[in-house]
A and B are shown apart, each in its own frame.
Chain A
Amino acid sequence: MTVPVVDRGGIPVADRPDWRWRSWDERDPGRIPVLIALVLIALVFQALNGAYLSADNLVNLALQASTTGILTLGVVLVLMVGQIDLSVGAVSGVAAAVVTVGFVRAGWPLIVAVLVAVAVGTALGAGYGWMFARLGVPSFVITLSGLMVGVGLQAQVLGPTASVNLPYESGLVRFAQQTFLPPVLSAGLVVAVVLAYTTSRLVDRRRRIAAELSAPSLGATAARIAALAAGLGVPVWYLSRGRGVGAIVAVFIGLVWATDIVLRRTQWGRSVRAIGSSVESARLAGFPVRRVYIAAFMACAGLAALAGVLSAGRFAAANQSTGGADLTLTAIAAAVIGGTSLFGGRGSAWSAVLGVAVIHAISSGLTLLTADGSLRYIVTGVVLALAVTVDAVSRRSRGVPGR
């Protein structure tokens, strides 16, 4: 064993002090390869089709990706506690049906229709959570039954016409299709986020120094701030050359940002990661394990419902195929590709953004090249297999057997 470096207080200090101040997610090596993959995908498709990286295409890509992204965010939460929800697509379909039928046929005010739709989804999630946490039914079975129930419910709500259109001038359609953040607002938001991040970094650094803990150098801090500023600023600037940042894109990023803070900075978030890592240890540590499970399933289904509502707005309609087909699998694939472990305990809210970006970058590129959807499935499937393999191998290399 190496002899520990000892600081003034006789405290053994890590051999690599710069390692210690980083929080778990920043150490996660999963992010860099995904970013590299994203760049490669972009370069390849741009070489094949010059329109690929145009602002207009990217604006559309961002809109498409955002509803799937919201679903993915929910899936990330459930995966983090080591469970799975196979019904997110169906739940989003139910919510889309509820919001359109409620608004168009029943004449509810839009806000009521939206709230009811999200509440229905959340209630389904509560049901899953209860059955899982109280009765111990495996989550993939519960949510698979939920999927069937959801598909049936969706058909019942839609009624015999099986398709309901939303008027183009309705608030939901306008919000989802035509609302973009004004450039001033999006620029202002970027500046505000960067400032907030800078402040929190500097305060954190000051506190660490005051507590005689290892702290990052000012240079390293500045580099991180610059990376964030570029990571947010460049896309926002580029999208603004087209129609700009769509409202649902902003909703998606806002939800991810908030979830990320909850996961990393609160006790609830800590309990989520602890449960995903080892339920028994989390229980012995005194976490309210059942309640956390239930909350995770509720949040997942609630987000799925919100995604369904927004996609009803984006397509100005709800029908039986809304939320169907491969949507659930795409969302789960995106979560894993983005770096959330299928085995629980490891992951981040931002993996929803990364994963969905990869999947939609591929599918948008292939759509530009050929109209044939079959290739898209094959490529996405291969990428998913790759991501899961990386996940399983990295788990094994850490000495933890797969489940």
Chain B
Amino acid sequence: MTRPPVMSLRGITHSFGAVRALIDVDLDVSAHEVVAVVGDNGAGKSTLVGVMAGALVPDAGEVVVDGREVRLSSPGLARQLGIATVFQDLALCEDLDVVENLFLGQELRRGPVLDEVAMEREALRLLAQLSARVTSVRGPVSGLSGGQRQAVAVARALLGEPRVLVLDEPTAALGITQTAEVLNLVERVRDRGYGVVLVSQNMADVQAVADRVVVLRRGRVNGDFDAETASYEDIIAAITGIAPTRRRGGVS
């Protein structure tokens, strides 16, 4: 069962000054597939997310979307190519209300002015789809709980039907019910034919929804597992580097 990937990263390398955050990382995401990216703190997961989101231009490596090499030089461009991202820190604007945050940078307009009515209606629809309980869509985001914010950020990523959804630790702030909702959503999005990259520290989440598990360790890919067959111990070993594992991409 091999499908052509919707998005492939090839040889992505990126440094922050002396810190080598990503070293020669390859990653493929196909339609109808959830790829989990796991790794310890500081392994480079968020940096990889930044590259996919167009927020970071890597030092080296290429990104291929739908068979064409693209340069993700800005977040807007990544969005246009159908790559939607929920950042680890959510990237919301505290002073703006829920509707404004949902449509941030992608406002609907009627002629020259913003179409608040259409945006509010769509916001309510998206939030309902996520069964998100947001008290007031016209209240500022600063008044929301962590889980509610997460829901707003996820709803924003779903705007405009992306083809690849990148989620950086989307369940970190969530309670049991909300986590289940997000995981359900990940599966629904996959079943609609999207590719999903799910960055997570939570192995339970990963085992619940992932089709493939890619392990990052100190900036390198340290294992690429089939979620069906891989054992929990193998993955943990690849994350921590303690036990010998099937390695890819050199020493660590």
Contact = CB atoms under 8 A, between A and B. Distances in A.
A21 B55 CA distance: 34
Interface string B138-165: 1110110000000000000000000000
A12 B128 contact: yes
Interface of A is mostly: loop
Contacts of A14: 135-139
Given A19-B139, A20-B137, A267-B114, A285 B128 contact: no
Contacts of A274: 93, 96, 100, 104-105
Interface stretch (B25-33, B74-82, B238-246): B74-82
Contacts of B124: 9, 11, 213
A23 interface: yes
Contact of A9 (B75, B94, B128): B128
Interface in A190-229: 204, 207-208, 211-213
Contacts, number: 129
B204 interface: no
A276 B75 CA distance: 19
B121 interface: yes
A400 B76 CA distance: 27
Given A204-B117, A267-B107, A22 B138 contact: yes
A1 B131 CA distance: 14
A350 B138 CA distance: 21
B137 A1 contact: no
B87 interface: yes
A282 B104 CA distance: 8
B127 interface: yes
Interface string A105-127: 00000000000000000000000
Given A1-B133, A211-B121, A213-B117, A281 B140 contact: no
B231 interface: no
B198 interface: no
A276 B94 CA distance: 10
Contact of A285 (B95, B105, B127, B132): B105
Contacts of A27: 138
A277 B113 contact: no
Interface of B: 53, 55, 74-76, 79, 85, 87, 91-97, 100, 104-107, 109, 112-114, 116-118, 120-121, 124-125, 127-128, 132-140, 142-143
